[in-house]
Amino acid sequence: MSLPETAFGKVIFGIGILAIYNGVQTLVPSMRLTNKIYVRKPKEATAFAARNMGLWTFTSGLIRLYAAYNLENAAVYQLCMWTFALALFAFVGEVFVHKTAPISSTDIFGIFQDPLAVETLLTHILHHITSANLGKIDVIVGLDARGFLLGPTIALRLGCAFVPVRKAGKLPGATTQVAYTKEYGTDYFEIQEGAIKPGQNVIILDDLIATGGSAKGAGDLVKLSGGKTVEYIFFIELSFFKGRNVLDAPTYAVMEFDD
């Protein structure tokens, strides 16, 4: 069997093979060839839950293998993307944060415990960027601090710059500062002067959008630097907060929670 012709097809093919491998290892532990990180072991899972997870992982791998050779088919492509989204949802947890006000937040760090999940998230975001007619991207701006998790890798694969936006006092040298409103108060973001050149096209990346205050602050910094924000990208959107309504450019989220 020959590999798919396109680079994206090859990536989907590889992820499909890994998913099939993980599914077989989960379904038949006696066939497990390695205990490396690629073998996903459900924590505190019953045998029934483990079997279901194995069947789903194996099936999603088969779907991705088929999709790798048929990406021009819109229905097949959407089905493939749907398997990615469901796979990522399985790694997302919920934590309760209480600072000035009680807020339910979303924990995305489970994704980073599995390299296949990380590659799935990266592939999804990169394919969106390269297929959304955004034009040439000059800079990926990552927000302090979870925007730093994938921001540099995405910038590297796109062949563009990565620029961090950090909390006040964290960056060396001359900086530009703006205030922004969070769910529980006001804070300050800074960017290094000259990091973004006038006229550059910028994507702003963060893990989550709720009310949109921090993303808006980053957008204000891009504007003050002379850049143009062409899109905001988030791993997760809590859509009931309607945070995208305060932003000055289109918004894309890999996963969306509406309650």
259 residues of the chain, pLDDT tens digit each: 688 888 778 888 887 887 787 777 766 765 544 443 333 343 444 454 556 666 767 887 888 788 888 888 888 877 777 777 666 666 665 544 434 444 455 678 888 887 777 887 888 898 889 889 999 999 999 999 999 999 999 999 999 999 999 999 999 999 999 999 887 789 999 999 999 999 999 999 999 998 999 999 999 999 999 999 999 999 988 888 899 999 999 999 988 887 6
3-state secondary structure of 133: coil
State the Cα–Cα distance between residues 220 and 229, nearest whole angstrom: 9
Ranges of each domain in the chain: 7-87, 121-257
Residue type, 107: D
Alpha-carbon distances, residue 79 vs 13, 27, 68, 83 (angstroms): 15, 23, 12, 6
- Tell me how crowded residue 258 is: count the other CB atoms within 10 A of its CB: 7
CATH class of 121-257: alpha beta
Q: What is the DSSP letter of 3?
A: P
pTM: 0.71
Cβ(186)–Cβ(179) under 8 Å? Answer: yes
